[in-house]
Amino acid sequence: MSIQGQLLEVTVVGCSKLKDTEWLSRQDPYVCLEYATTKFRTRTCTDGGRNPCFQEKTTIPLIEGLREITVTVWNSNTLTFDDFIGSGRIQLQRVLSDGYDDSSWSLQSKSGKFAGEVKLIMHYANAGKAQKPSKAEAPMSYAATAPVYNPAAQYAYPPYASPKSVAAPPSYPPTGGYPSSSPYPAAYPSLAYTPPANPDPYQPAGYPPPPMQPQAYPTTAYPHTQGYPPATYPPPPQAQPGYPPAPYPGIYPPPPY
């Protein structure tokens, strides 16, 4: 549900533990709220000091997407400018979901130090309307959709049929013989086994070839060995020319030198 244009009631209760900006007298604080273009200022609590009380209420129109309010606390001065005490941010998530928030929010000075607390009470009348389902959209309970368990139905037999309603089964085989268009043959072939002409369908006809008959080896030498070995083996040594040397002419053996 969109919060655009919805009203938020904010009550500024008071402040506590504020930083003191006065030296000689008590400070006069007041609170400013800012939300988008909406601005609200409480009255000045004269001599409120560090724990002023306001109890002032205002109404702020909400804007979709903006979920925080800026709060600032000042000290009012008559002759000079007002003194800044502290500021903070008020988150709206809790009040928008629950419809009520009465928390205290801390304030910080310009240097980031703790400057006190401010207490607000916020009311939001339209909180949670989008989350509540209507009666027509209420989810159906499991008991309405769950099947009913019946243990007797698990073991129940089928209803009994009278013999008159049960048709008699046809006789088998038929008495008049099989019709001519029956897919079954009149007589089955003989059970004698006839080996096929070619047992292996992947081999050509006439395979394997018949075994070869052994043949007698030729008595003569093979053609490529004709003329070998020679008639005499090993061959006689051949005389080398000039060896052994011829004897010296004349006296043999030759005389010693």
Task: Please give the single-letter amino acid code of residue 212.
Answer: M
For the chain, list the domains and their CATH numbers.
Answer: 7-123 (2.60.40.150)
What local confidence, expressed as pLDDT, does residue 137 receive? Answer: 47
Identify the helix (H) or strand (E) that includes residue 97: helix 93-98
- Smallest CA-to-CA distance from 84 within 113, 56, 122, 58 is with 113
pLDDT in tens, 184-214: 555 555 556 665 565 566 666 666 666 666 6
Burial class (CB in 10 A: 0-12, 13-18, 19+), 45: buried
How many angstroms separate the most distant Cα atoms in the chain?
Answer: 176
Among 2-11, 102-111, 152-161, which stretch is predicted with the lowest mean pLDDT?
152-161
- Determine if the pTM surpasses 0.85: no
Peptide bond into 230 cis (omega under 30): no
Mean pLDDT, residues 108-117 taken together: 94
pLDDT in tens, 128-177: 764 444 454 445 555 555 556 565 555 555 555 555 555 555 555 555 55
User: SS3 of 224, please?
Assistant: helix
Residues near 38 by beta carbon (within 8 Å), at least 6 away in sequence: 60, 61
What percent of the chain has a predicted confidence (pLDDT) above 90? 44
To the nearest whole number, what is the mean pLDDT of the chain?
A: 75
Tokens of 179: 């019709």
Secondary structure E strands in 38-82? 38-41, 53-61, 68-75
Tokens 């205290």 belong to 104
C-alpha 121: how far from chain center: 47
Residue 9 β-bridge partners:
59, 123
Q: Is 167 left (phi over 0), alpha (psi -120 to 50) or beta?
A: beta
Among 13-17, 59-63, 87-91, 243-247, which stretch is predicted with the lowest mean pLDDT?
243-247
pLDDT in tens, 219-257: 555 555 555 555 555 666 665 556 556 555 555 566 665
What local confidence, expressed as pLDDT, does residue 105 receive? Answer: 96
